[in-house]
Structure 1
Amino acid sequence: MINFSADISSLILPDGRSVSEPIDSEDEIRRALERVSDAYGFRGFMVLAVPDVGCHSLAAQVLLTSWPLEFLRRYDSAGLFDGSPVIQRLRRSTIPFTYDAHLLARRRLDGKGDAAVGVFEQANMPRGVYLPVHDAAGNRAAIAFGGDRPTVSDDELQALNLWAGLLYSRLSELRTQRRRGPASLSRREIECLRWAAAGKTTVEMARILALSEYTVNHYLNRATRKLDSVNRVQTVAKAMRAGLIN
């Protein structure tokens, strides 16, 4: 299993910053993507599920985005989805690639090239990148960064691809945990977490609960695995956010 926190904290953005804080919510995923977007000179990001052939709307596939909502409305109103070279490429390939709205317009076979250019230009996002990603369950998606900066270099594309893979993996984990809900923790696990949140040591918890230190550690370690945490502090924080303890 990837140690997500260690991996993300070791990455440095072009502006010298990092994303070192624990990422335990979709809002924190959004902030991390916004930080990456800003650091690389883009105007925004978009996370979209790779659509099947029965889908005809870009907005319906968007999972998270900072791109203007007006962009999505204009894009779908113009009927640009079905003839999009980008969507077609995402369906058949997992290789990251750059985009230029003017160049892509020439590859459209539906006569909507000028309309597509207009939509991207109005949003000030004529150029950018698409980074195909997937999760452990095989769900496919892509993270796009768009703006009006020059075309990214090969080194930048590789770095952005790593950021995209890590952040989408975390987003998928969070959504899976949310679907499962907090009910998987046992009564004893919750009790141990509640005392840990109160600042009690393992020895003190064992005395309070009339358990051995080994058993207390067992419950805490099991809760840590269930909540997909890296340490006891993060486990307590996640349990509090989920309303398991207060």
Structure 2
Amino acid sequence: MNDFSRDVTSLALPKGVRISENLSHEDDLRQVFGQVMKAYGFDGYLVMFVPGKDTRLLSETVVMTNWSKKFLRSYDAACMLSGSPVIEHLRRSTVPFTYNARLDNRERDDGKNDVAVELFEREGLVRGVYIPVHDIHGTRGAVGFGGTRELVSSKEMTELTFLSGYLFGRLCEIGGKRGRKGAPLSRREIECLHWAAAGKTTTEMARILELSEYTVNHYLSRATRKLDSVNRVQTIAKALRAGLIN
């Protein structure tokens, strides 16, 4: 396995930006992803777990992003995930690739080509790259950078792949330490699990708890890590067996 940490802190980004050696909190990673995005001329970034076939909402897979909440709500409301050629590509391949919203969405077989193109063009994410990544436990994710700039060069793709792999690994490591097995669930985590067990969607839970959908997903993700589960269904089952929710 590659040791990304050995050289990444000395890697200079375009415009002389350097990666900080102190990446111990999620906010540190959020700042660095933003630096990388800007240094390479992109307008948006997305860090996500690769969704399974039964996942219907993009918001449930997002770990970190600067995409607008309005865009994500619109995307999920239009049920765009299941027919996404980008998501299908991420499920099948571990090779970084470029995307073009207008060209790639021609491959959709759900008749939502125009809707998808309109959403991405309105958000200013018309082209970019997606980089499959994984952590030391084999958890599959992806880092995407998008905007209006021209396609990246092979050198830029190599650099972005290196950086994305390292940063995703650090993000998973931080999350693992924060949500290690055996750590107690917070009140909010238990509340979110309670409503998830009752069959509520993320949108419904956000409305009930007066939280953002991002925050609800954050609490559920932390609960999943703490209970050493692989998905939300298993997390709910473990919480029920442990008497944490009823």
The question of a shared fold, defined as TM-score above 0.5 by the shorter chain, is answered with yes
* 1:92-103 alignment runs, 5 A limit: 92-103=92-103
Larger of the two Rg values belongs to structure:
1
Q: Report the equivalent of 1:165.
A: 165
Unaligned runs of 5+ in 1: 184-246
- Deviation digits for residues 111-144 of structure 1 (CA, Å, limit 9, x no counterpart): 1111000000010111111000001111100001
Once residues 178 and 3 of structure 1 are traced to their aligned partners in structure 2, the CA distance between those partners, rounded to angstroms, is 22
Residue 73 of structure 1 deviates from its aligned partner by 1.0
Count residues in correspondence.
183
Whether the 8 Å contact between 2:4 and 2:162 is mirrored in structure 1 is: no
**After the TM superposition, which of the residue ranges 7-16 and 79-88 deviates more from structure 2?**
7-16
1:10 partnered with 2:20:
no
Whether the 8 Å contact between 1:5 and 1:20 is mirrored in structure 2 is: no
Residue 20 of structure 1 deviates from its aligned partner by 2.6
Q: Report the equivalent of 1:240.
A: none
Q: Report the equivalent of 2:191.
A: none
Amino acid paired to 2:90: L
Whether the 8 Å contact between 2:4 and 2:165 is mirrored in structure 1 is: no
Residue 106 of structure 1 deviates from its aligned partner by 1.1
Whether the 8 Å contact between 2:49 and 2:141 is mirrored in structure 1 is: yes
Structure 2 vs 1, CA of residues 2 and 174 (structure 1 numbering), >3 Å: closer, same or farther?
farther
Moved >3 Å (runs of 4+): 1-6
Once residues 93 and 28 of structure 2 are traced to their aligned partners in structure 1, the CA distance between those partners, rounded to angstroms, is 29
Whether the 8 Å contact between 1:80 and 1:116 is mirrored in structure 2 is: yes
Residue 21 of structure 1 deviates from its aligned partner by 3.5
* 1:33-48 alignment runs, 5 A limit: 33-48=33-48
SS at match of 1:106: helix
1:25 partnered with 2:25:
yes
Once residues 86 and 135 of structure 1 are traced to their aligned partners in structure 2, the CA distance between those partners, rounded to angstroms, is 21
Whether the 8 Å contact between 2:130 and 2:142 is mirrored in structure 1 is: yes
Whether the 8 Å contact between 2:46 and 2:145 is mirrored in structure 1 is: yes
- Deviation digits for residues 47-87 of structure 1 (CA, Å, limit 9, x no counterpart): 01001111011111000111111111111111111110011
Residue 6 of structure 1 deviates from its aligned partner by 4.0
Once residues 32 and 182 of structure 1 are traced to their aligned partners in structure 2, the CA distance between those partners, rounded to angstroms, is 30
Q: Report the equivalent of 2:213.
A: none
Q: Report the equivalent of 1:117.
A: 117
Whether the 8 Å contact between 1:5 and 1:22 is mirrored in structure 2 is: no
TM-score by length of 1: 0.71
SS at match of 1:90: helix
SS at match of 2:83: coil
* 1:1-246 alignment runs, 5 A limit: 5-180=5-180
Percent of aligned pairs sharing the same letter:
47
Amino acid paired to 2:126: P
Structure 2 vs 1, CA of residues 102 and 16 (structure 1 numbering), >3 Å: closer, same or farther?
same
Residue 25 of structure 1 deviates from its aligned partner by 0.4
Residue 168 of structure 1 deviates from its aligned partner by 0.3
**After the TM superposition, which of the residue ranges 6-15 and 168-177 deviates more from structure 2?**
6-15
Residue 3 of structure 1 deviates from its aligned partner by 6.2
Once residues 89 and 147 of structure 2 are traced to their aligned partners in structure 1, the CA distance between those partners, rounded to angstroms, is 20
Structure 2 vs 1, CA of residues 156 and 136 (structure 1 numbering), >3 Å: closer, same or farther?
same
Once residues 108 and 182 of structure 1 are traced to their aligned partners in structure 2, the CA distance between those partners, rounded to angstroms, is 43
